[in-house]
Amino acid sequence: MHSDADEYKSVCYDKDKYQIFARDRYANVGMDIFFRIKKNNIDTDNCNWDRRKGDVWISENKGKYSEDAKYVIGVRNDFVLMDSGTAADPERIFAVYDMKNRKQVLEKNVSEQVVIGDGSVTLWIPTGSSNANNCSNRKELEGEVRQSEHASGATFRQTRKHLFDLKTGTLRSTQETKCYIVW
């Protein structure tokens, strides 16, 4: 039988103001994720997985089949950056939790892996179906489809580049678009 004492892969992000803990779930998808605020920017437990009063849960397995399949992909400033869901690429979900304000501030479908930079996260958010007028890379994609054994079910969708600012917690849309294949 499983207990909290069982050893599962856990990760601790030891930052200036916070300690963020993430651990793979037993017999379920996603990670249990919580954080604690450091007192005087120090904590003496060396990032050991031990839940205590005052810890704030971001994602917790509350039942046999949790639909909250979040995975930590990075921590920057006050933000926990997460991949969410169980679907195959493309079309994942990118989520951001704001530890300072104790709430999730973003959850968006993305058409490819996000890129975490120093000041921002680059994400491509689907905008709809594509056509010859709104898909500059469509000929290239059509060539890729012709060479694939899965060509019959392929469709094209347009996606737009967005930047999530890691200082302000705001999402900004750019004018840059491209298309991608959905198999």
Q: What is the 3-state secondary structure (H, E, C) of 68-99?
A: CCEEEEEEECCEEEEEECCCCCCCEEEEEEEC
Tens digits of residue pLDDT in 13-41: 999 899 999 998 877 888 999 999 988 76
Helix (H) or strand (E) holding 175: strand 171-182
Judge whether residue 83 has pLDDT over 90.
Answer: yes
Tens digits of residue pLDDT in 110-149: 999 999 999 999 999 999 888 777 888 888 988 888 888 7
Q: For the chain, what is the mean pLDDT?
A: 86
Q: What pLDDT sits at residue 2? A: 41
Judge whether residue 106 has pLDDT over 70.
Answer: yes
Nearest CA to 114 out of 137, 91, 140 is that of 91
d(C-alpha 140, C-alpha 120), whole Å: 29
> Where exactly are the structural domains of the chain?
10-182
| For residues 60-83, average pLDDT | 84
Q: Which two tokens stand for residue 60?
A: 């917790």
DSSP assignment of 92-119 equals: EEEEEEETTTTEEEEEEEESS--EE-SS
Number of helices and strands (H, E) in the chain?
1, 12
Q: What pLDDT sits at residue 19? A: 93
d(C-alpha 166, C-alpha 118), whole Å: 8
Q: Which residue has the higher pLDDT, 31 or 164?
A: 164
Cβ–Cβ under 8 Å, residues 48 and 39: no
Strand 56-59 vs strand 31-37: parallel, antiparallel, or unpaired? Answer: antiparallel
Q: Which residue has the higher pLDDT, 164 or 45?
A: 164
Q: What pLDDT sits at residue 3? A: 45
Cβ–Cβ under 8 Å, residues 52 and 19: no
d(C-alpha 23, C-alpha 83), whole Å: 14
